[in-house]
Structure 1
């Protein structure tokens, strides 16, 4: 029987120690800070964690979780369909790069939430403005990472494709696209994080489902234990999404090459 090395043991213990410190800070904050009363008790870890377990076991949150995940996936698909082709075009064409660089840098610095009134005027109330806001938020890391990936493709591979009489389109498909996939996956991972952050306020635009809607509903009902429980769930799901994207990226980088 072999014992785990000290490095691996520390690697496993440190995250748990960090999580335990956060829970301890939370408990101390609600137990000793502020005036005692029902409001402070509503934010205590035991009440909030018990409420989270109750909501998950009853299935009350499942429709809202599915609605939020659907919006994330659909918006991410839209962002990929826009960001990857435009990023490739900007990367392969210096003229397009010069023509769009200033515009892209200007527009991407505008907060996606600033487009809320525009989204409502264009698409009305419902899922459409949410998709618009999330797509606007997610398209930039995908576009910029794709463009950076194209710029990092080794020139000798492009020259080799041209020496074999490959057209520009064939060069993009056979040389550029496979070479930039790691960059695209990095952009997608960053986009998922941005989408998940923008999702909660975006789901307060007149929709009737989703985790952002549920947080707004708990606030209106003064159900503060439920509110914190859903906030915790948002953090857990966001962590799982980022971890999944990270694992896919690492699997692609470390894949066996024939």
Structure 2
């Protein structure tokens, strides 16, 4: 009744998407417009929070968006973060590669054998629930100071989603394809690389995307294990120098790089899914 009365009175109903018209004029679609609006709200909350804290804590002004992005620009333009960023990405790639080398073969074995699945399921779930950071003292004791304990912790963190998704992919394979390969006297190698691997690739990519998210979160505290490079190390360095605007700048960079890595993994999965149709 109320809406009908408004229409009869000639009152136009507001368009919920009208507030995004300036963004759409820039060639952005609705999803991108909403995403940018969410980022804008986050920045506003960040600015309001630091402004509120600055009243009783003067150092909080160094954490404000303005000071943070100014420091980020200076750090990037002068190349101070280049080597640290490259080292962190290298560690991610090495940890992910080791997790793939371990997780995919184990996942193939577990997914292809009900007996092995039943025997290993409880043990794997138990180990998976242990935080990788819990192993930090033991990793340093066994591997010493340097990159070796970091690679161990990153691999331990990333192997579980890859292994479990690989095993799930094997169990979801259509038995008819395996029976067809058997009837054609296909060798184990042919079955593996022509049926199994293409059939589980989507699951493996899903596991890789999950592993990247986990490994990126675990990386920063791992790089506080006595190494002299990496974004985690640089956070400790800025803390010791009381350079809080630089500290926030590195935190923003970590978030941006993690977002880009996840986007690359998602794009790889979409590319595969289009080719698989």
TM-score interval, smaller chain? over 0.9
2:216 is aligned to: 196
| Structure 1 gap ranges (5+) | none
TM-score normalised to structure 2 length: 0.88
Query: Cα–Cα, structure 1 residues 183 and 256, in superposed 2: closer, same or farther, change >3 Å?
Result: closer
- The 2-side partners of 1:256 and 1:123 are apart by 42
Structure showing greater radius of gyration is 2
Equivalent residues, number:
252
Query: Deviation at 1:205?
Result: 0.4
1:238 corresponds to which of 258, 262, 265: 258
Partner in structure 1 of residue 139 of structure 2: 119
Equivalent residues in 2 for 1:54-203, closer than 5 Å: 54-203=74-223
Tell me the distance in 2 between the aligned counterparts of 1:36 and 1:119: 41
CA RMSD of aligned residues (A): 1.5
Question: 1:99 offset after TM fit, Å?
Answer: 1.1
Structure 2 unaligned segments of length 5 or more: list them: 1-23
Runs of 4+ in 1 over 4 A off after TM superposition: none
Q: Work out the CA distance in 1 between the residues paired with 2:53 and 2:81.
A: 31
The aligned residue for residue 42 of structure 1 is: 62
Return the offset for 1:248.
Answer: 0.5
C-alpha displacement at 1:169, in angstroms? Answer: 4.2
1 CA distance for matches of 2:32 and 2:169?
34
Deviation at 1:166, TM superposition (A): 2.3
Tell me the alpha carbon deviations over residues 147-189 of structure 1, each in whole angstroms, 9 at most, x when there is no partner.
0000000010000011112244432222111100010011001
**Aligned pairs (5 A) from 1:205-216:** 205-216=225-236
Deviates more, 1:127-136 or 1:166-175: 166-175
Equivalent positions of 1:220-239 (< 5 A) are 220-239=240-259
